[in-house]
């Protein structure tokens, strides 16, 4: 099965972006290969850009506090402990997100060159070539040091998305001629996920708000950004997730 997320708020969209980038960073950092560590560095720069919005930290802290109140009301002690820890760790970070990277001249030079075609070759950046020749453990230690101050944001994001995805309801659907319409979503749905069999070879195009949901399936292909609309029946599932309750 494939799951396609459709955030219904910019806050959830930002959380999913952060989760995706940190997952990529962690996966590539765990490798010993120097090219994986190149991707890890690129991911670190993307995380810095994605999370630099001043309101993001406040948004996360506000949602953590809402969930802490819900946890107290429903006596979810284990989850409440995780929420408290996530909030405290995030509040302890006093500097602007990614400020330590901005203050590192070498990293900022690399950030500027990494998006240029061929910009990180030994000819262009001999100091980066030297870094890549270090042992895997030395490179990994650097990557972990550079990302350490960002990890509270990652852990807080993980807790919130876990709550969001666990508090879900779903409906089994059938798209006749590749199209499906639904009149209403449950109150305060923050994330809608389309689950469809991989074998169907389709991608969902979703238009949704609290009054109306429209799903159209198109063919998956790697020749154009948008495939042709499909006309056959597609059986799929709509999963609706909300922050507004914690079901345990």
pLDDT tens digit sequence for 183-229: 777 778 899 999 999 999 999 999 877 678 899 999 998 887 778 88
Mean pLDDT of 65-89: 83
Q: Can you give the pLDDT at residue 182?
A: 81
Q: Name residues whose C-beta falls within 8 Å of residue 48's C-beta, 6 or more positions apart in sequence.
A: 97, 98, 101, 102, 150
CA distance 186 to 237: 15
Cα 181 to the chain's mean position, in Å? 27
Is the pLDDT at 230 greater than 70? The verdict is yes
pLDDT band, residue 69 (cuts 50/70/90): confident
Asked if pLDDT for residue 73 goes beyond 90, the answer is: no
- What's the pLDDT tens digit per position in 36-51? 999 999 999 999 888 8
Q: Which residues contact 238 (CB under 8 A, 6 or more apart)?
A: 170, 171, 173, 182, 192, 193, 194, 195, 213, 215
Asked if residue 247 has pLDDT above 50, the reply is no
Residues 82 and 48: their CA atoms lie apart, in Å, by 24
Cα–Cα distance for residue pair 14/55, rounded to 1 Å? 11
| In contact, 39 and 233? CB cutoff 8 Å | no
Q: What is the pLDDT of residues 6-36, one digit of tens each?
A: 998 888 999 999 999 999 999 999 999 999 9
CB hemisphere CA count around 1 (13 angstroms): 10
Q: Determine the pLDDT at residue 54.
A: 67
3-state secondary structure of 110: helix
pTM, two decimals, is 0.87
More confident residue, 76 or 119: 119
What digits encode the pLDDT tens for the residues 81-106?
899 999 999 988 877 787 889 999 99
φ, ψ for residue 210 (rounded to 5)?
A: -70, -10
Q: 248 pLDDT exceeds 50?
A: no
Q: What is the pLDDT of residue 45?
A: 94
pLDDT in tens, 137-175: 999 999 999 999 999 999 999 999 999 999 899 999 999
């Amino acid at each position: 099965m494939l799951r396609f997320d459709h955030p219904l708020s910019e806050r959830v969209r930002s959380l999913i972006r952060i989760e995706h980038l940190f997952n990529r960073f962690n996966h590539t950092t765990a490798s010993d290969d120097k090219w994986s560590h190149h991707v890890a560095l690129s991911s670190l720069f993307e995380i810095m850009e994605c999370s630099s919005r001043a309101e993001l930290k406040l948004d996360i802290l506000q949602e953590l506090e809402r969930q802490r109140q819900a946890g107290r009301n429903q006596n979810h002690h284990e989850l409440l402990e995780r929420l408290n820890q996530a909030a405290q760790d995030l509040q302890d970070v006093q500097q602007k997100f990614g400020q330590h990277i901005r203050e590192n001249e070498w990293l900022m030079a690399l950030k500027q060159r990494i998006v240029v075609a061929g910009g990180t070759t030994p000819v262009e950046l001999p100091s980066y070539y030297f870094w890549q020749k270090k042992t895997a453990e030395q490179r990994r230690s650097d990557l972990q040091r550079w990302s350490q101050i960002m990890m509270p944001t990652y852990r807080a994001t993980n807790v919130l998305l876990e709550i969001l995805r666990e508090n879900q309801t779903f409906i089994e659907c059938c798209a006749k001629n590749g199209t499906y319409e639904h009149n209403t979503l449950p109150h305060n749905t923050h994330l809608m996920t389309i689950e469809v069999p991989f074998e169907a070879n389709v991608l969902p195009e979703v238009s949704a708000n609290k009054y109306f949901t429209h799903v159209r399936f198109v063919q998956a292909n790697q020749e154009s950004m948008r495939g042709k609309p499909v006309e056959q029946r597609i059986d799929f599932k709509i999963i609706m997730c909300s922050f507004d309750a914690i079901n345990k």
